[in-house]
Homo-oligomer: A and B are copies of this chain.
């Protein structure tokens, strides 16, 4: 089963609860002899960490990673790489009020009913704090396939959206705290998020990811299709409600005569409605996809709910939360993409003797 594992050849297994001792994981299947720059791992964690800007949760975590195995004299040994990130700033008393109460659209209710016994503090294992381990593992995965360029960015916040058909300079993504490559729209998004937060409310948004320099041939028929694994990866991220790649939902309105990507003589295609994947296998064109995030469920206003004896209660969010999850989701989307691609890359090595 391995409920807390992801990947086949390159396989991440994680543990940890939001207010437990620590978060961490074991990344198995990393090839031997790869030089690992631990600063790059920490940089990715810093991109994800709370408290990094005025529009994200103010929980303070240094999110310093400790690597415990699998790297020797700066290089991988082929042994599993274990890592740990401490939970330093958990304020569990912020959560004592929900010990017996179920926050709307959170996992409190379903965990309680399924498992009977749950760690309610900060949402326990259902918290997005879990993704700190994904980012750590993804930063290692990126170093397995350094030639592949993975670039995620904020595509929309609420109704404020980039233009699907415009090409943006993705080097601008990290130049603003909302991680949108259009500086003007970024400013609007930031203002909007701040106003939403002032209301004690939250808002959703979309992340787009473009992957370049993908070798031809990654992915496998029929149940290891590259895009199906990307979909599972993205849908595993907290608060995600949708995934589309290539032409996506809008492609359903197209005719085949427009949608088909005509080959150039060199094997590239004139258009790329396929999104870089045909029959589940990368075709060498850029892979691109979008991920839909719902508004964060924790509000700073009062909401009606029920408790575990099914009485009606009023809940007001305490704790520190993101008013919009999208800016911090960017490195998470990239990390999961890296894990999927590195796994497919290693798997492809077994296709021929």
| A interface with B by C-beta (< 8 Å) | 1-6, 8-9, 11, 13-17, 20-22, 24-26, 28-29, 31-34, 66-70, 72-73, 75-82, 84, 102, 104-107, 109-111, 113-119, 124-126, 130, 144, 156, 158-159, 196, 201-206, 216-217, 220-225, 227-229, 231-232, 234-236, 241-249, 251-257, 259-267, 269, 273-275, 277-283, 290, 292-299, 301, 303-306, 310-312, 346-353
Contacts and interface: CB of A to CB of B under 8 A. Distances in A.
A2 B28 contact: yes
Contacts of A26: 4, 13-15, 25-26
One complex includes copies of this chain to the number of 4
B241 A235 contact: no
Contacts of A352: 31-33, 116
Nearest to A130: B222
B245 A241 contact: yes
A1 B4 contact: no
Contact of A252 (B6, B275, B292, B301): B292
A209 to B, nearest CB: 14
Given A125-B79, A278-B110, A255 B68 contact: no
Contacts of A104: 260-263, 269
Contacts of A254: 158, 203-204, 294-295
A248 B294 CA distance: 8
Given A24-B82, A32-B352, 4 more contacts: A25-B26, A105-B260, A114-B281, A257-B303
A79 B299 CA distance: 26
A326 to B, nearest CB: 9
A92 to B, nearest CB: 11
The 10 closest A-B pairs by CB, nearest first: A107-B279, A242-B244, A202-B256, A15-B82, A110-B281, A256-B295, A114-B217, A204-B252, A32-B115, A228-B235
Among A29, A67, A202, A232, residue most surrounded by chain B Cβ atoms (within 10 Å): A232
B273 A20 contact: no
Contacts of A16: 68-69, 82
A9 B347 CA distance: 9
A238 to B, nearest CB: 8
A200 to B, nearest CB: 8
Contact of A310 (B114, B253, B266): B266
A205 B252 contact: yes
Contact of A311 (B3, B265, B279): B265
A283 B69 CA distance: 25
Contacts of A252: 156, 158, 204-206, 241-242, 292-294
Nearest to A105: B260
A350 B350 contact: yes
A58 to B, nearest CB: 18
Contact of A217 (B80, B113, B196, B227): B113
B241 A248 contact: yes
A16 B126 CA distance: 28
A301 B257 CA distance: 9
A144 B174 CA distance: 49
